[in-house]
């Protein structure tokens, strides 16, 4: 666990934060729950990059991979970043409260036989819910630190681009979703870039939901997926399958609850309700997930190894992660073509920015914009990565093939944890501009150009020509599900 510093407004505060971060890195990290890497979109960034638990400012410069045969220098980055760790939303807070009431009512009954140590007693008698509805998805202090530290690491990786001077002279553009957790994140990122300054932190971001919450403005997506009762059919089937039934049964036994308290009455009628409506069966499933994510929230918010973490073993965690991945796959990723097409506005924005930064210039021309930082959501990043063709397994995940999906590429726990980031690095090289992709600070090759870490930018554009020419905010989003 590293110390959390409040927003720095001067050199002294920044120096203290740096000293504390470095001092804490010499101490062993707090114990991490065995199931910590299975929380899907509620996973800590440190589970993807565990070395950050030892040193939150460590930077591996070898991730930059321009060709050794050319002289290259980075001239621009565009970074699409998810907000940091947050509180549960109101919907999940109410589920946590419902779960707490269920256990309180049962606390006078029999004790679970499957528990070990004091964790079961802690859950049933000593743990008290502290989540209140006014928290509603707001960024927590740890989430602010996620973004400050990410900014520090990226500025160390790209010192000429993410420099404090470039920030103060407003050469870097910052865009954000209007959601408070994203606004707090873009502010924290700017604080991280200005950590050595002697002046007050200056914020210069703009809000753009058309770009960062494009999924709300794409009619083809809203009608075809969001409001479509059958779009998440695989998720509904898995909820009532044998794997989830096993998790419910083991959870009931460990808590000493009657099995029927956590057992759905029967498989639902797929046409009876919208995918986003909660029927009695969904409430049961949601209580199981509420218990599972309590471990996640307490870890990501307070760095605590909560007693709730002992309620699930690795087998349970893998099942619940798969259920979450099914939802994200069919709702935000490769499950439906329109999911990726909905991100066309962001896709075009990224490439227009890269085009402008890589354009040949005369010596008298102004320098290109060194960086563009865009703060959004997991729902912002997943469709974009899908449009780029990333994390697409040969066999789609379904309710029926769980056992064969353990080696799948599409794992949201590793793709979109809190503070997930997709960084497009544009190099000026002898043979021309080159582009490299980093996902969560790790090099990833473009699927259509698998032989190079940093292919020529013109080759990248050629590989995505069909999208650059045909992927518009109207095509697909006007209700016509045209595959490009």
Catalytic residues: 83
Longest CA–CA separation in the chain, Å: 80
- DSSP output for 380-397: HHHHHHHHTTTT--SS--
By CB neighbour count within 10 A (0-12 exposed, 13-18 middle, 19+ buried), where does 42 fall? buried
- Residue in the structure block whose two tokens are 């599900």: 481
Dihedral over alpha carbons 90, 96, 101, 104 (to 10 degrees): -150
Please report, for residues 337, 413, 428, 454, the alpha-carbon distance to residue 67 in angstroms, rounded to integers and kept in the order given. 34, 31, 11, 7
Q: Which of 170, 146, 49, 51 is nearest to 438 (CA)?
A: 49
Q: Which of 484, 445, 450, 449 is nearest to 467 (CA)?
A: 484
- Residue in the structure block whose two tokens are 């409001």: 227
| Under 8 Å between Cβ of 295 and 304 | no
In this structure, how many other beta carbons lie within 10 angstroms of the beta carbon of residue 259? Answer: 12
Any residues with CB less than 8 A from the CB of 460 and at least 6 apart, and which?
A: 435, 446, 449
């Amino acid at each position: 666990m590293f110390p959390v510093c409040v927003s720095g407004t001067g050199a002294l505060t920044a120096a203290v934060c740096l000293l504390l971060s470095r001092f804490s890195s010499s101490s062993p990290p707090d114990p991490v729950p065995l199931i910590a890497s299975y929380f899907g979109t509620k996973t800590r960034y440190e589970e993807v990059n565990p070395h950050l638990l030892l040193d939150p400012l460590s930077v591996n410069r070898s991730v930059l991979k321009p060709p050794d045969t050319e002289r290259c220098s980075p001239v621009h980055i565009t970074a699409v970043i998810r907000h940091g760790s947050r509180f549960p939303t109101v919907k999940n807070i109410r589920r946590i409260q419902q779960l707490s009431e269920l256990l309180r009512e049962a606390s006078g009954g029999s004790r679970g036989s499957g528990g070990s140590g004091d964790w079961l007693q802690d859950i049933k008698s000593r743990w008290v819910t502290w989540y209140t509805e006014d928290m509603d998805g707001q960024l927590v202090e740890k989430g602010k630190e996620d973004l400050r530290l990410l900014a520090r690491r990226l500025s160390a990786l790209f010192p000429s681009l993410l420099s404090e001077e470039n920030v103060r002279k407003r050469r870097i553009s910052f865009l954000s979703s209007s959601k408070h957790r994203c606004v707090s994140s873009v502010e924290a990122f700017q604080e991280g870039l200005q950590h050595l300054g002697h002046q007050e932190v200056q914020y210069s971001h703009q809000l753009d939901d058309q770009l960062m919450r494009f999924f709300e403005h794409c009619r083809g997506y809203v009608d075809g997926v969001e409001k479509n009762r059958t779009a998440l059919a695989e998720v509904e089937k898995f909820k009532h399958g044998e794997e989830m039934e096993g998790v419910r049964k083991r959870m009931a036994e460990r808590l000493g609850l009657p099995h029927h308290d956590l057992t759905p009455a029967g498989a639902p009628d797929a046409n009876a309700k919208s995918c986003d409506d909660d029927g009695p069966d969904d409430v049961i499933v949601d209580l199981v997930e509420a218990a599972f994510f309590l471990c996640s929230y307490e870890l990501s918010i307070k760095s605590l190894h909560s007693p709730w973490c002992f309620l699930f073993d690795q087998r349970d965690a893998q099942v619940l992660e798969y259920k979450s991945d099914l939802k994200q796959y069919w709702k935000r990723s490769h499950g439906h073509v329109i999911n990726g097409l909905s991100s066309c506005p962001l896709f075009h924005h990224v490439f227009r920015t890269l085009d402008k930064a890589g354009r040949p210039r005369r010596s008298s021309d102004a320098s290109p914009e060194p960086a563009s930082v865009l703060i959004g959501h997991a729902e912002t990043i997943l469709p974009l990565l899908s449009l780029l063709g990333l994390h697409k397994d040969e066999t789609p995940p379904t309710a029926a093939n769980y056992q064969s999906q353990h080696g799948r590429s599409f794992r949201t726990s590793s793709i979109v944890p809190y503070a997930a980031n997709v960084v497009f690095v544009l190099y000026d090289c002898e043979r021309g501009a080159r582009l490299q992709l980093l996902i969560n600070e790790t090099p990833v090759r473009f699927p259509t150009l698998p032989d190079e870490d940093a292919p020529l930018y013109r080759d990248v554009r050629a590989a995505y020509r069909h999208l650059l020419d045909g992927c518009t905010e109207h095509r697909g989003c006007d209700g016509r599900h045209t595959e490009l």
